[in-house]
Amino acid sequence: MRPEDIVATIREVDPTMADLVAKEDARQARCIRLIPSENYASPAVRATLASSFTNKYGEGYPGKRYYQGQEFTDEMEVLVQKRACELFGYPHAVVQGLSGAPANLAVYAAFLKPFEGKIMAMRLDHGGHLTHGSPVSVTGQWFEIGAYGCNPDDVLDMDEIRRQALEFRPDILVCGYTAYPRTIDFEAFGKIAQEAGAISLADVSHIAGLIAGGAHPSPWPHIDIVTFTTHKTLRGPRAALILAKSEEHYQKVEKALFPGMQGGPHFNTIAAIGVALAEAATPQFQAYTHGVVANARALAAALMERDYHVSSGGTDNHLLLVDTFRSRKLPGRRVAIALEQVGLVLNFNTVPNARPDQKPLFPDGVRMGTPSVTSRGMKPEHMATIADFFDRCCAITKRGKIEKGTGVFADKAAADALREDVFAFTAQFPTFTYE
């Protein structure tokens, strides 16, 4: 179904909601979407989400359900498991995770005793995820956390992580991040976990698509358990997969997820994961993932040419962090708000080794990535244009305290001109189809 047909179908019943969907469609077409965890799911993935599988209940796993009528849900779920195993090279896959956070919780619940278990993971302000033991997450409240961080060059120091792991002795050693622009050494993490007597967990939510497409090394066979969201670089529906190396781990995770934490699986979403996995197994998708990395590198280079401080001096994957305070004396949140007003959408983010008092809501930098713009067909030469838009916006954004009611731009006419240039640029690139 095309987006306008979806809107028309909704409009027959609920014009108010149809308007909101249409406005969101238009926003996603008009803006340059640089949030690295977002993408454009394909028409086939979106159609599968709307399929009759959404009407079906079925607690339990294939062949072991608590409801009748599972002829096709069983066949479908087994097929999706098989595709996940084939694409990522792991022998076992759980496909019922509702999203990334519950998938991680299921892994912790499978292997850790409440209020005794020990997790070692990256600190939030250096690129770790909330579910890696942040104090505001139950993962930080229910388990003992040993946090590691980046070195002064904003990269992971594997010798230091090994030293810390041997001292802290975690039950689970987590790698995989939400804001880390460099290649993850899964082999080193697997070895350290073994030496420390820990289970290794790679949460590859951000880079799952890159791994599937061969644009980032695979965690197989180094890492015991792999979790990831299916809606970021993998370009599927909003959900999560959990892969396991051993049968024993697989069974524990299955039990922890259901009946431990979740109820009935979202079969429409699982079917849509299957479609995304089929798409991800194609040469076109491989080319897409290499394009994502080439674009991120080009964007980082273009920003550094314009004297922006890019964390770790560039990127190996789909995202980059820019310390906007160090670059232009502009806090990340100010830049993110200003950019949105001219049609560039990204998120403010902490940057490792920035000012020590940066807060998650008031950090020194921004995070941006290229999965969405690459899905629209943009190439490295277009990244210079985006860097120019970014730079023009920073140039007209006010520094220092902003008086109430005065707006973030020093020059409103320049902002209007910039917005027009951005919309004219994005109009060249389709959104809901690709290649």
Residues 38, 154, 171, 203: which is the catalytic one?
A: 203
DSSP per position, 179-224:
S--S---HHHHHHHHHHHT-EEEEE-TTTHHHHHTTSS---TTT-S
The catalytically annotated residue of 33, 46, 83, 232 is: 232
User: What is the pairing mode between strands 240-244 and 92-97?
Assistant: antiparallel
Is beta strand 344-345 parallel, antiparallel or unpaired with respect to 60-61? unpaired
What token pair was written down for 425?
């640029």
Strands 172-175 and 199-203: parallel
Q: Count of residues binding ligand PLP (CB under 6 A)? A: 14
Q: Is-catalytic flag, 316?
A: no
Residues 293, 319: Cα–Cα separation, whole Å: 8
Q: Is 262 in the site for ligand PLP (CB under 6 A)?
A: no
Nearer to ligand PLP (CB atom), residue 39 or residue 375: 39
Q: Can you state the percent helix, strand and coil of the chain, rounding each to 5?
A: 50, 15, 40
Q: Is 101 in the site for ligand PLP (CB under 6 A)?
A: yes
Query: What is the footprint of ligand PLP within residues 387-416 (CB under 6 A)?
Result: none
355 C-beta neighbours (distance < 10 Å), count: 12
Quick check: 41 and 236 in contact, CB under 8 A?
yes
Residue 70 or 104: which CB sits closer to ligand PLP?
104
> Which among 62-70, 76-84, 198-206, 344-352 is the span making contact with ligand PLP, rule CB under 6 A?
198-206
Rounded to the nearest whole angstrom, what is the least distance from the CB of residue 292 to ligand PLP in the complex? 15
238 is an active site residue: yes
∠ CA 106-107-111, rounded to 5°:
115
Mapping DSSP to helix (H, G, I), strand (E, B) and coil, where does residue 379 land?
coil
- For position 315 contacting ligand PLP by CB under 6 A, the verdict is no
Compare residues 230 and 358 and give the one whose CB is closer to ligand PLP. Answer: 230
Shortest distance in whole angstroms from residue 319 CB to ligand PLP: 10
Query: Per CB under 6 A, which of residues 117..146 are in contact with ligand PLP?
Result: 129, 131
59 among known catalytic residues: yes
According to CB under 6 A, which one of 203, 279, 316, 364 is a site residue for ligand PLP? 203
Pick the piece of the chain touching ligand PLP (CB under 6 A) from 71-79, 164-172, 200-208, 404-412. Answer: 200-208
Please, what is the minimum distance in Å from the beta carbon of residue 179 to ligand PLP? 8
Choices 40-48, 75-83, 199-207, 241-249 (CB under 6 A): range interacting with ligand PLP:
199-207
Is 203 known to be catalytic? yes
The count of C-alpha atoms lying within 13 angstroms of the C-alpha of 186, restricted to the half-sphere facing its C-beta, is 19
Site stretch for ligand PLP (CB under 6 A), options 98-106, 184-192, 279-287, 334-342: 98-106
- Binding status of residue 230 toward ligand PLP by CB under 6 A: no
The alpha carbons of the chain give a radius of gyration, in whole angstroms, of 22
What is the closest distance, in whole angstroms, from the C-beta atom of residue 106 to ligand PLP in the complex? 12
Distance of CA 64 to the CA centre of its chain: 32
Q: Is 206 in the site for ligand PLP (CB under 6 A)?
A: yes
Say whether residue 205 binds ligand PLP (CB under 6 A): yes
Selected binder of ligand PLP within 37, 315, 374, 397 (CB under 6 A): 37
Q: How many Å apart are CA 394 and CA 18, to the nearest integer?
A: 35
Q: Is 99 a residue that touches ligand PLP (CB under 6 A)?
A: yes
Query: Active site includes 232?
Result: yes
115 vs 77: CA distance, rounded Å: 34
Q: Catalytic pick from 30, 54, 56, 57?
A: 57
176 binds ligand PLP (CB under 6 A): yes
What span, in angstroms and rounded, lies between the C-alpha atoms of 129 and 273?
23
d(CA 171, CA 201) in angstroms, rounded, equals 10
DSSP code at position 383? H
Residue reference for tokens 């289970």: 199
Q: How far is the CB of 407 from ligand PLP (least distance, A)?
A: 32
Catalytic residues: 57, 59, 203, 229, 232, 238
- Judged by the rule CB under 6 A, the positions of this chain that interact with ligand PLP are 37, 99-101, 104, 129, 131, 176-178, 203, 205-206, 229
